Amino acid sequence: MKRAQAAGSETGERLQKILSRAGVASRRAAETLIEHGRVTVNGETVRELGTRADAAGDDIRVDGVRVRLAAAHAYILLNKPRGVVTTRHDPQKRPTVMDLVPALAGLFPVGRLDVSTEGLMLLTTDGNFAERVAHPRFQVPRVYHAKVWRVPEPETLARLRQGVRVEGERLGVDQARVLHAGNNAWLELTLHEGKHHEVRRLLKAVGHPVSKLKRVALGPLTTRGLQPGEYRHLRPAEVKALMHGGAARPAAGAASRRSRPASRPR
C-alpha cells in the first residue's frame, strides 16, 4: 500500500489539516493525536507533524476509525442566455440552465431569472450557501441593466429608491441611475432581494416597461469573461466572500466600467 508522504514532501495536504477539515479535531488537537501515535496513514502509524497525505486517496484513520471528508460542494457561476428556463426540469422540454452546466448530483439554481432575462446565475449543491445568497436578510446586492421605454426623469428614479406599491406589495431599489439615454434608456439598478419579476413589475409600474434585462453582478461576482451560455466554477475566496461578506459591492470592473454615462451597455 502507498506510504504517507514525509514531512519535506510538497505533495498532499498536512495531516493535521485533513483531520480538522474532516471535523475530527481542531488543528492543534489533531497535532496531539498525531504525536500520541493515534493516527495511521495506509496502515502505518504517523508521528511526524509535517507529514502530508492525500485526503481523497489515502486510508487515514484515528484510533482505527476511517476519516472521511465530506464530498466537496460545487459552486458554479453561469451567464444565463435569454430563452433558457431557470429550473431543474421543464415539463415543456424547453432548454434549462441545467443543460449548460456539468450534471453534478444535487446541483440546483440559486434563485431564478426570468426566461427572457440574461446574466449572472449561481448553481450549487450547498443549501447553506444558497440560503445565504438568496435571502434578503443577508443583503447581497444584485445589479441589473435594464433597457426601458423612454427615459425616466430624476423624480422617477427617486420614486424607485423610495419604494413603490405594486399589486399590494412594496417594491423598490437601493440604487438607480441612467447609463445611457436616447429615445429609450439603459438603467442600472441595484437591489438586495429577488422578488418574482421584481424589476419588470417595478419599472412597468412607473411607466417605463422593460424590453431587455441583464443581471450583471451579484455581490462581488460579475459576468466578466463569460459569454452567454458559458460557466465557470467559483474560486474558494469567492465562495467565502459570499458566505461572509455578501454585502460587499462588486469589485470595480465590468459593472462599473459599463456604467459610464457615455458607454452603451452591450
Judged by DSSP in three states, 28 sits in helix
Q: Report the nearest approach of ligand URA to the CB of residue 101 (Å).
A: 18
Taking alpha carbons only, the member of 161, 173, 75 closest to residue 120 is: 75
Q: Are 40 and 3 in contact (CB under 8 A)?
A: no
Q: What is the 8-class DSSP label of residue 124?
A: E
Number of residues near ligand URA (by CB under 6 A): 8
> Which of these ranges, 133-141, 172-180, 196-204, 251-259, lies near ligand URA under the rule CB under 6 A?
196-204
Let me know if 114 is a catalytic residue. yes
Q: Which is nearer to ligand URA, 39 or 133 (by Cβ)?
A: 133
- The answer to whether residue 200 forms part of the interface with ligand URA (CB under 6 A) is yes
Binding pattern to ligand URA, positions 207-226, x when CB under 6 A? ------x-------------
Q: Residue 66: how many CB atoms within 10 A of its CB?
A: 9
Q: Report the nearest approach of ligand URA to the CB of residue 9 (Å).
A: 50
Q: Report the nearest approach of ligand URA to the CB of residue 216 (Å).
A: 12
Q: Report the nearest approach of ligand URA to the CB of residue 191 (Å).
A: 8
Q: What is the 8-class DSSP label of residue 5?
A: B
Amino acid occupying residue 116:
S
- The answer to whether residue 199 forms part of the interface with ligand URA (CB under 6 A) is yes
Q: Which is nearer to ligand URA, 113 or 254 (by Cβ)?
A: 113
Taking alpha carbons only, the member of 187, 165, 189, 163 closest to residue 175 is: 189
Amino acid occupying residue 9:
S
- The answer to whether residue 198 forms part of the interface with ligand URA (CB under 6 A) is yes
Q: Report the nearest approach of ligand URA to the CB of residue 1 (Å).
A: 53
In the region spanning residues 103 to 132, those forming contacts with ligand URA, defined by CB under 6 A, are 113-114, 117
Q: Which is nearer to ligand URA, 135 or 197 (by Cβ)?
A: 197
Q: Which of 54, 59, 90, 114 is catalytic?
A: 114
Place of cell 422617477: 156
Taking alpha carbons only, the member of 211, 86, 66, 99 closest to residue 145 is: 211
- The answer to whether residue 197 forms part of the interface with ligand URA (CB under 6 A) is yes
Sheet strands (E) in 65-191:
65-66, 75-80, 108-110, 117-124, 142-148, 164-166, 169-171, 175-181, 185-191
Residue 266: which residues within 8 A CB-CB, separation 6 or more?
Answer: 258
- Active-site positions read 114
Which residue ranges make up the site for ligand URA (CB under 6 A)?
113-114, 117, 197-200, 213
